[in-house]
Each structure stands twice: as structure tokens, then as C-alpha cells.
């Protein structure tokens, strides 16, 4: 009996041991699978001007790559430049990142100009696709206002010192970097590789990740060896908030919101109690001013547009036979052209949109003015003025007084000559409650 129990115990132990071995093997397999799956690279696509919305997106992407433990963050870049303050926010995050940041000017036909040069040079690894270019980083006043010589020199010197510091930190061509700022030089991807501005030229993202595998980069937290070959590529998309901010930050969209906002308030003030136009107009105005916060706005242009809307509203309240409307149209046109005047085409308002907005506004208020003038010239239909000139029919003989039917009403009338029943008379005046008439 004792032997049987001992045999059962040994058999049970064998099964437990086997089960433990299987569980351990399964854990190892799952662990190795997770480790393999854990090697991933984040990629983000940045196109258009570097604005507040794109800066928020890039900064949040770098932070997420650090938080999630990505092998690297690849920024696919195509930009004509953008705002200096937004660029510096991005650069501070890139230079302090513990995760390698790779800037890839991609696809063919893309460029890294102005602020894009700074961003590319600040990358741990800089790459370009065939058919791309980089350069022309000379600072310009996005507001379009001409800087005096001393101020322009200060701005250029500041930008040159900044880009030299970045190029030195990343071991790139310092001389060319300074010339990109001072002389606006620009080069192709092949020239950039020869001049040691970038690290490599690669036609595809997969090829890029294979080529940089095993490379060593320096971060503030220490040296990092890249393991990007075969790593999973995960695309980071803009959040709904960032997408909305990007759309709003477009100068043309911001201008449209501004005009729609003023129209909403105009209709609310001219028709008090409508409520909906006021609510919609207020929302559009808030969105427009939010966008202007990150755009080079000329406040003289903004004041001219506000003044134009005041003139339009005054035209409705005080009929000026079109003079206020003409003044409003001129003020609106000048203000629209001055609102955002930038040497960067991407930061300018579409001239076609301005033309359409001014023409529609002019047409609308011309219609309002025309109707107003017609109403002023129209003969009154009520009161004393509405009766004078009307023709009525005699109901009882007038001699010198009698009754007539005019406009469906019975009136007492008097006339200088007798008038028989059935004859027609014309109203000359209203005296008290009696009509003075003449025989027709």
C-alpha cells in the first residue's frame, strides 16, 4: 500500500515538473515574441509650414516615442519653413530627446527650407530622398514689414549662431550651415551628402532603416545603438485636436472665419433677438483670433476690416445713399490685403479668396442700399400720405359734404363743387377726420 502511494506521488511530481517546463518554455517563447514585437520605430509626416500646430504634433510625438520606448522616431519632412518660435520649440525637444530622432526629407520633390534646415541639422541622423533639396535658411520677417539694417543684422547673427551651435553638436558642416543663413544657399541631396550636411541618401523608409541599423548616436542620456532593421514601423497620426488646429492655422481659413464671424455679428446686431447668427459669428471670431495668435498679423489690416464692418452696419441704420458702403468696401479690401503680408507664400491669404469675399460683400450691401433707396422713394401706403392722391367713389351726394368709398373705407368728404352719387373723386388732403376731394 505504501509503495503504491509512493509511486503515485512520484508520478504526480513528474507531471508537475513536465507542466512547469512547458509553462516556462511558453513564457520564454512569448517573452521572445514580445521582445521582437517590442522593437518598433515611430514615424510622423510633417508637411507645409512649421506652425504652432505642427510644433505641438512633433513635440508630442517625440515625448510619446520616449515614453513608449521606441527604437527611434522618423520625421518625414517637407516644408518651406515657418515660424521661428515654433521651430525653436521643436529643436529644444529634439536636442533633449533620449530617443534618436531621424529627419528624412521625403518623398522625392520635397524640401527642407528655412526652418526645415534647422530641424534637419538638429536630427541625430539626417537623410534625404533622391530628388529633394535643402537650404535657404535666411531669416525673414513673416509679417512682411521691412526691418531696419541694425535689426536685420541682429536677427541674422542670432540665427547664424544658433545654426552653428546645432551643426557643431551634431558634427555637421558648420560652414555651410552658416552660409545657408547668411547667403541663403541651397543644395541637392547629393551635394548635401558630399558636403557632410546629411548622413545618407535613401530612396525608401525601409532602405533607410536598414542602412542606419547598428549606428551609434549620442543623446543627453548617453550613447544609443540603433536596432532598426526589421523593426515594426508605426505611423503616428495627428490627433483630432492637432488636425483642427492645423486647418485653423491656415491664413486663408483664418481669414474666412474672420469674415464669417463679422457677418454673424452683423446679422445679429441688425436683427436683435435672432441669437443663432450671433452664436455662430462669435465662434468663428474666436477661432479666427486663435489662428492669428500663431500667424504674422498686421493689426492695421485687422482694424481696417473691423472699421469696414462698422461702416456696413451704419449703412443699415443710417441711409447714406451708398457712401458708407463704398467706404466699407475700400476699407475691407485694403485691410484684407494688409492683414497677413508675408514673403512666404504658404503664410499669405489667397488673393482669390480676398477678391471673392470683397465682391460678395459689395454685392450684398449694394443690394441692401438699392432696396433702401427704393423704399425711401416709394409712396407711403398708410396715414395721411397714403390717402392723398387716392381715387374714391361717391356714396352720398356731396354738397358741400357727403360720403365716399376709398380704399375699402367710408369717409366723410367735402368738395368745392357738388358731386353726384357714383362719380369719382380724388383725395387732396386730410383735414381732421374729413377728406378734401376734387371731382375727377
- In this structure, what DSSP letter does residue 376 have? H
Look at residue 135 and tell me whether its pLDDT is greater than 90: yes
- Give residue 17's pLDDT band: very low, low, confident or very high (50, 70, 90): low
pLDDT tens-digit readout, 152-168: 788 899 999 999 999 99
Q: How many CA atoms lie within 13 A of 400 on its CB side?
A: 7
Tell me the domain boundaries of the chain. Answer: 36-239, 250-377, 383-439
Angstrom distance (rounded) from CA 58 to CA 55: 5
pLDDT tens-digit readout, 235-273: 999 888 778 877 887 888 889 999 999 888 888 877 777
Strand partners, 105: 77, 128
pLDDT of 92:
95
What would the mean pLDDT of 411-426 be, rounded to a whole number? 88
Q: Is 231:209 a contact under the CB 8 Å cutoff?
A: yes
Q: In terms of DSSP bridges, do strands 391-394 and 200-201 run parallel, antiparallel, or are they unpaired?
A: unpaired
CA 300 remoteness from chain centre: 21
- Give residue 324's pLDDT band: very low, low, confident or very high (50, 70, 90): confident
- In this structure, what DSSP letter does residue 419 have? B
CA dihedral (247, 248, 254, 259) in degrees, to 10, reads: 100
| Residue found by looking up cell 525653436 in the block | 88
φ, ψ of residue 196 in degrees (nearest 5): 60, 40
Residues marked as catalytic = 114, 154
Q: In terms of DSSP bridges, do strands 434-439 and 424-431 run parallel, antiparallel, or are they unpaired?
A: antiparallel
pLDDT tens-digit readout, 338-375: 887 666 666 778 889 989 988 888 887 777 666 665 66
Q: Is 218 or 245 the better-scoring residue by pLDDT? A: 218
Which of 301, 312, 364, 305 has its CA nearest to residue 338?
301
Angstrom distance (rounded) from CA 371 to CA 394: 37
What would the mean pLDDT of 108-118 be, rounded to a whole number? 94
- Give residue 328's pLDDT band: very low, low, confident or very high (50, 70, 90): confident
pLDDT of 270:
72
Angstrom distance (rounded) from CA 115 to CA 98: 22
Q: Is 170 or 38 the better-scoring residue by pLDDT? A: 170
Instruction: Supply the mean pLDDT for the chain.
Output: 83
The burial class, CB within 10 Å (0-12 / 13-18 / 19+), for 142 is buried
pLDDT of 16:
46
Question: What CATH superfamily is the domain 36-239?
Answer: 2-enoyl-CoA Hydratase; Chain A, domain 1 (3.90.226.10)
- In this structure, what DSSP letter does residue 409 have? E
Hey, is 439 helix, strand or coil? Answer: strand
Angstrom distance (rounded) from CA 275 to CA 252: 27
Angstrom distance (rounded) from CA 201 to CA 55: 25
What grid cell was written down for 144? 512682411
Domain 383-439: which CATH class? mainly beta
Amino acid at each position: 500500500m505504501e509503495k503504491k502511494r509512493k509511486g503515485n506521488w512520484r508520478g504526480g511530481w513528474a507531471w508537475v515538473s513536465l507542466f512547469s517546463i512547458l509553462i516556462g518554455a511558453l513564457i520564454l517563447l512569448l517573452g521572445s515574441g514580445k521582445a521582437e514585437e517590442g522593437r518598433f520605430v515611430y514615424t510622423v509626416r510633417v508637411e507645409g509650414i512649421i506652425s504652432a500646430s505642427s510644433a505641438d504634433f512633433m513635440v508630442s510625438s517625440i515625448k510619446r516615442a520616449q515614453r513608449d520606448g521606441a527604437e527611434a522616431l522618423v520625421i518625414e519632412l517637407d516644408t518651406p519653413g515657418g515660424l521661428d518660435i515654433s521651430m525653436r520649440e521643436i529643436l529644444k525637444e529634439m536636442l533633449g530627446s533620449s530617443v534618436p530622432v531621424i529627419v528624412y526629407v521625403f518623398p522625392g520633390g520635397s524640401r527642407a527650407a528655412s526652418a526645415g534646415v534647422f530641424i534637419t541639422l538638429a536630427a541625430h541622423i539626417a537623410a534625404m530622398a533622391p530628388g529633394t533639396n535643402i537650404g535657404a535658411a535666411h531669416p525673414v520677417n513673416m509679417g512682411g514689414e521691412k526691418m531696419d539694417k541694425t535689426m536685420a543684422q541682429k536677427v541674422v547673427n542670432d540665427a547664424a549662431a544658433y545654426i552653428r551651435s546645432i551643426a557643431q553638436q551634431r558634427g555637421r558642416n558648420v560652414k555651410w550651415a552658416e552660409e545657408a543663413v547668411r547667403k541663403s544657399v541651397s543644395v541637392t541631396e547629393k551635394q548635401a551628402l558630399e558636403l557632410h550636411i546629411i548622413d545618407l541618401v535613401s530612396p525608401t523608409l525601409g532602405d533607410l532603416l536598414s542602412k542606419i541599423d547598428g549606428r551609434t548616436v549620442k543623446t543627453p542620456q548617453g550613447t544609443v545603438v540603433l536596432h532598426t532593421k526589421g523593426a515594426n514601423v508605426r505611423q503616428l497620426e495627428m490627433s483630432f485636436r492637432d488636425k483642427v488646429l492645423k486647418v485653423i492655422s491656415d491664413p486663408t481659413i483664418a481669414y474666412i472665419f474672420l469674415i464669417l464671424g463679422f457677418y454673424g455679428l452683423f446679422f445679429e446686431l441688425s436683427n436683435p433677438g435672432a441669437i443663432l447668427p450671433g452664436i455662430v459669428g462669435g465662434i468663428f471670431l474666436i477661432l479666427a483670433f486663435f489662428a492669428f495668435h500663431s500667424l504674422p498679423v498686421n493689426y492695421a489690416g485687422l482694424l481696417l476690416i473691423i472699421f469696414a464692418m462698422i461702416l456696413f452696419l451704419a449703412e443699415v441704420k443710417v441711409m447714406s445713399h451708398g457712401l458708407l458702403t463704398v467706404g466699407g468696401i475700400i476699407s475691407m479690401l485694403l485691410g484684407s490685403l494688409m492683414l497677413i503680408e508675408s514673403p512666404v507664400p504658404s503664410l499669405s491669404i489667397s488673393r482669390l479668396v480676398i477678391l471673392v469675399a470683397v465682391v460678395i460683400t459689395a454685392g450684398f450691401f449694394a443690394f441692401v442700399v438699392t432696396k433702401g433707396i427704393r423704399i425711401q422713394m416709394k409712396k407711403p401706403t398708410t396715414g395721411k400720405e397714403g390717402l392723398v392722391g387716392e381715387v374714391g367713389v361717391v356714396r352720398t351726394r356731396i354738397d358741400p359734404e357727403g360720403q365716399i368709398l376709398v380704399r375699402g373705407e367710408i369717409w366723410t368728404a367735402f368738395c368745392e363743387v357738388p358731386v353726384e352719387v357714383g362719380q369719382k373723386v380724388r383725395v387732396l388732403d386730410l383735414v381732421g377726420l374729413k377728406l378734401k376731394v376734387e371731382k375727377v
